[in-house]
Structure 1
């Protein structure tokens, strides 16, 4: 259950899961494309064992969900929503900024929110009201006018309450790859969106990647993963607790300890075994741990290099001087610094976003934030004085490229 890992093999295994399901997911997408709502109803019966009377969740059902949720949980979700909103408000830039670069030439950027986005909130093994908040609050902060959400049936009242707290009233009870296809392609019931965000299993992730030509996606966000960079000063119980916290998400979740201390690796392994024995979700944890383990690095430089190669969704830094290591790490979705920065804090209430790239894609993508829901257009304000300042440069380069009409579009203004 606790094993030494070979880094290249471990990384390759994370990507192969997505490749394995591309064929079946393509078939699901084709059915939704051709059959629309009928495919959603049939696929929900096939995969979830549920006969759908209505795909859309009614306002009455959403409002009635409050009666089925503990009052303290409702308060906690409201506080989490406020913390997430507060942090993401800091990411908002100016709708328009202009800077005079020289007399007659002013440049800037105009930022506008997307018009309609779709959020996917997983279900099945657990309720994820936190993901409902993480996907929708940044979009609200960005100013997106229309936000819809797909979540697998049976719809969990906790998720419905979270979406209501976030101000989302367009909810569909459909999950899996078929939900992603519905949002990307549109059906009679589910209007098409411009962008899809949110995590899911390998089928959801594969669908997002296959539908990138139909709707923009955030990034591949599949089964959860964590890398912990630790030295001999780390508390093995804390490290083991973070490993089990990620392992309980999904049988395909993956956890790796990168350490400079072989003794710590053994101590963490013993703690993992002890704590897993009493875990509520032990079956899921055991399956996740079967492809998790540790890597012993020669020194801290090698450990940082290994972490950057992994490019983990979550990175916990538990070393004697964590801030010094933080400045050297390049590839990670979200970073947790110090022994008391439990990854679960970022999952729920610190205010940062927990929708993050997985399977090494943190090398290429950033985690979900307000910018994911915005378009940016550059702006140029040029007077006659400014045109004279750059006219010769434009004409010379345009003529050299053989684009003489480009050059003439400047000359005609200068002559006039």
Structure 2
């Protein structure tokens, strides 16, 4: 990993070292995704079955997975894995149940009652990628809050052949229907519906460049579906002082690097000596990883930045706005108040990112690519929406009437003014 002394850099260089690898849908990807979406809109299930053979190399006869198949898959899961999944389930459930919105109701003026209520999104689609790593943990992260929020229809899509653990988690979380479909075609089916797939209102979940491009397209179409967020490659920034364990720090950097070649990991530490220790440890641990090739490609565009103190470390972190922020310092909680932008924060030597990815209870679906400056980590609120209510008594209406009429007149909205003055006149006549 490249080691850089932050104080030796000019302003342009400081910005450059925090630049993420370019993420851009190439013209070729855009064209392919558009063709796939139009094909699914036109031919529905038939197109999805052909895509399963073409992209996933699996022959299927139907899109929907039967309940018997889901139950049989659950029987094949190792007991220890089931036990671990259920522990994660309980922790995630507890944390998200604590986020249940409590309605707001108050009188802004005597006789003027205002309320803020929440209602679940009716139909949600959860996308779980296939590929090298079956992300069954993402089923828990998406389906548990959807269920707690009270979504009426929860469906899940994943490329054929769906991993048994994914089906087990779907069943455990109470998912209504599971579809064996993947990529841009799955996103199109969820957004527009097919013979077997019911159209949803909002789509959640990560995916490759084709999935990301498809999500962007359907969310821009008024007839499509909303999405959770545009997710770029995974990333982590670690802040470490001289008391940190170099072995632990290296393992945290690599746990993110193994996600993919375009993942980015950054270490901000306080000395060149510690930087070199971590760098050596990264190379040592890298040799024993099953996904060594992917992680190695990620490490190429990752960096170690030496800051002059912890205050400057926070400055660097806030400028980068990481998806995951790990703080391995002697007193990590003391830095928490200085953190402005991060998707999820991990405090201390024994809070590795892996805990949040699986079982601590927080959600692992997080904004990336600097979007933590404006976006939150996925939470219960994402599966619902808010609506306001107002109710005025006669006395409350009279107290506000004259002021509202003046405001409407000042904006030259006569009908707004009339809606108030006609009522005021009626009250006077009574």
TM-score by length of 2: 0.92
CA distance in 1, matches of 2:217, 2:191: 10
Shift of 1:321: 2.5
Contact conserved, 1:200 with 1:222, CA < 8 A, in 2? no
Contact conserved, 1:204 with 1:222, CA < 8 A, in 2? no
CA distance in 1, matches of 2:273, 2:401: 68
Residue 313 of structure 2 corresponds to 303
Does 2:151 match 1:173? no
Residue 84 of structure 2 corresponds to 76
CA distance in 1, matches of 2:53, 2:322: 35
**Aligned pair partner of 1:86 in 54, 76, 94:** 94
Shift of 1:173: 1.0
* Count of paired positions: 414
Does 2:220 match 1:210? no
Contact conserved, 1:111 with 1:377, CA < 8 A, in 2? yes
Contact conserved, 2:20 with 2:264, CA < 8 A, in 1? no
| Residues 212 and 15 (structure 1), Cα distance of their counterparts in 2 relative to 1, 3 Å cut | farther
Contact conserved, 1:7 with 1:295, CA < 8 A, in 2? no
CA distance in 2, matches of 1:360, 1:45: 37
| Residues 47 and 9 (structure 1), Cα distance of their counterparts in 2 relative to 1, 3 Å cut | farther
Contact conserved, 1:104 with 1:387, CA < 8 A, in 2? yes
Residue 54 of structure 1 corresponds to 62
Shift of 1:183: 0.9
Does 2:390 match 1:383? no
What SS is found at the alignment partner of 1:315?
Answer: strand
**Aligned pair partner of 2:146 in 139, 148, 171:** 139
CA distance in 2, matches of 1:92, 1:116: 19
| Alpha-carbon displacement from aligned partner over 1:252-293 (angstroms, at most 9, x marks no partner) | 222111223222221111010000111122122222222222
Contact conserved, 2:128 with 2:156, CA < 8 A, in 1? yes
CA distance in 1, matches of 2:24, 2:240: 28
Does 2:134 match 1:127? yes
CA distance in 1, matches of 2:211, 2:416: 46
Shift of 1:355: 0.7
Shift of 1:308: 1.7
Shift of 1:82: 1.1
Contact conserved, 1:11 with 1:360, CA < 8 A, in 2? no
Residue 291 of structure 1 corresponds to 301
Contact conserved, 2:322 with 2:368, CA < 8 A, in 1? yes
Shift of 1:19: 5.8
Residue 413 of structure 2 corresponds to 403
Residue 343 of structure 2 corresponds to 333
Shift of 1:28: 2.6
Residue 40 of structure 2 corresponds to 32
Does 2:290 match 1:280? yes
Q: Out of 250-259 and 116-125, give the one that drifted further.
A: 250-259
| Residues 26 and 13 (structure 1), Cα distance of their counterparts in 2 relative to 1, 3 Å cut | farther
Does 2:128 match 1:118? no
Residue 186 of structure 1 corresponds to 193
CA distance in 2, matches of 1:73, 1:362: 33
Root mean square deviation, CA, Å: 1.8
Contact conserved, 1:225 with 1:254, CA < 8 A, in 2? yes
What SS is found at the alignment partner of 2:406?
Answer: helix
- In structure 1, runs of 5+ residues without a counterpart are none
Residue 3 of structure 1 corresponds to 2
- In structure 2, runs of 5+ residues without a counterpart are 5-12
**Aligned pair partner of 1:108 in 112, 115, 120:** 115
CA distance in 1, matches of 2:219, 2:419: 37
What SS is found at the alignment partner of 1:181?
Answer: helix
Does 2:238 match 1:228? yes
What SS is found at the alignment partner of 1:130?
Answer: helix
Shift of 1:18: 4.5
Does 2:273 match 1:263? yes
Shift of 1:314: 0.8
CA distance in 1, matches of 2:292, 2:232: 21
Contact conserved, 1:14 with 1:359, CA < 8 A, in 2? no
What SS is found at the alignment partner of 2:391?
Answer: strand
| Residues 197 and 236 (structure 1), Cα distance of their counterparts in 2 relative to 1, 3 Å cut | same
